[in-house]
Amino acid sequence: MTSNNRWCDVDWRTMESKAVKGIHVLGDATLSAAGMPKSGHIANAHAKVCAAALVELLNGREPNPNPVMNNTCYSFVSDKEAIHVASVHQYDAGQGAIIPVKGAGGVSSTRSELEGAYAWSWARNIWADMLG
């Protein structure tokens, strides 16, 4: 069962499917939370929350009740200049949802070569994290 017959609704504290217990769903397959993009970086954050939750659950402990996920996406707009968008999301027990953290994240003020250097650093770090 999916939300809108398209996306999987999950418990953001564990990434467990709300429809099928014991199945954990990551990345683009999830029903995005408010303000949460579908990106490789956020899928990486989903995986980290899920892995940490599974360790706790397998050891008979409760997972983190307020996980935090972040996202950064860079786009090159020339061969050297880039722009970015970033966001931070945290689980809110009162709403039973993961929501954007007010005042966190944002967008580039302008395209620049410095942003391009940041983009390459971000890329090398996330590649090492995911593939290294």
- Please state the rounded mean pLDDT for residues 76-91: 96
Asked whether the beta carbons of 33 and 69 are under 8 A apart, the reply is no
**Mean pLDDT, the chain, whole residue set:** 92
pLDDT in tens, 7-34: 899 999 999 999 999 999 999 899 888 8
| Widest Cα–Cα separation across the chain | 51
User: What one-character DSSP code corresponds to residue 29?
Assistant: G
The pLDDT of residue 37: 87
Name the token pair of 79.
């061969």
Round to whole Å and give the CA distance between 26 and 53.
Answer: 13
- Please state the rounded mean pLDDT for residues 73-79: 96
Res 118 pLDDT > 70: yes
Res 4 pLDDT > 70: no
Please report the domains of the chain, with CATH numbers, ordered by start residue.
Answer: 10-131 (3.90.760.10)
Round to whole Å and give the CA distance between 64 and 81.
Answer: 38
Res 105 pLDDT > 60: yes
Residue found by looking up tokens 């996920």 in the block: 69
Round to whole Å and give the CA distance between 23 and 2.
Answer: 13
Res 97 pLDDT > 70: yes
User: What one-character DSSP code corresponds to residue 56?
Assistant: H
pLDDT in tens, 22-69: 999 999 899 888 888 889 999 999 999 999 999 999 999 999 999 999
